[in-house]
Amino acid sequence: MNSPSEPTEFKRKNDYSITAYQGSRKVNTMVYVHSISSYVKYLEKRHINWSVINVYARRTRRFLKRYYKDRDIIPDRIEG
């Protein structure tokens, strides 16, 4: 477990940056994301078509996971 002085990429608040793509075209990017599923609801509410989202650790910009719209169940947070 990290001590308070150790840097960590996850602090349970706005841990993610997400980029959405429609095919190979970037359609949306959001830097401060707390819930991945809420971000997907945001895209759908604004009628932004997307096929893939890439999720990154916001503080380190490390790639975490790719989700496909019609193939994956989108969680609130990535566990592990």
Tokens of 8: 């960590």
Q: What is the pLDDT of residue 12?
A: 75
Look at residue 9 in the predicted model and tell me its pLDDT: 67
Predicted structure pTM score: 0.85
Task: Classify residue 1: in a domain, yes or no.
Answer: no
pLDDT given for residue 6 in this prediction: 47
Compute the distance between CA of residue 26 and CA of residue 54 in angstroms, rounded to an integer.
11
> Domain containing 46: what range?
16-68
List per-residue pLDDT tens for the chain, 80 residues long: 454 544 566 677 899 999 999 999 999 999 999 999 999 999 999 999 999 999 999 999 999 999 999 999 999 999 86
Dihedral sign, Cα of residue 17, residue 43, residue 45, residue 51: negative
79 inside domain: no
Q: Left (φ > 0), alpha (ψ -120 to 50) or beta: where does 9 sit?
A: alpha
* 37 in any annotated domain: yes
Residue type for position 23: G
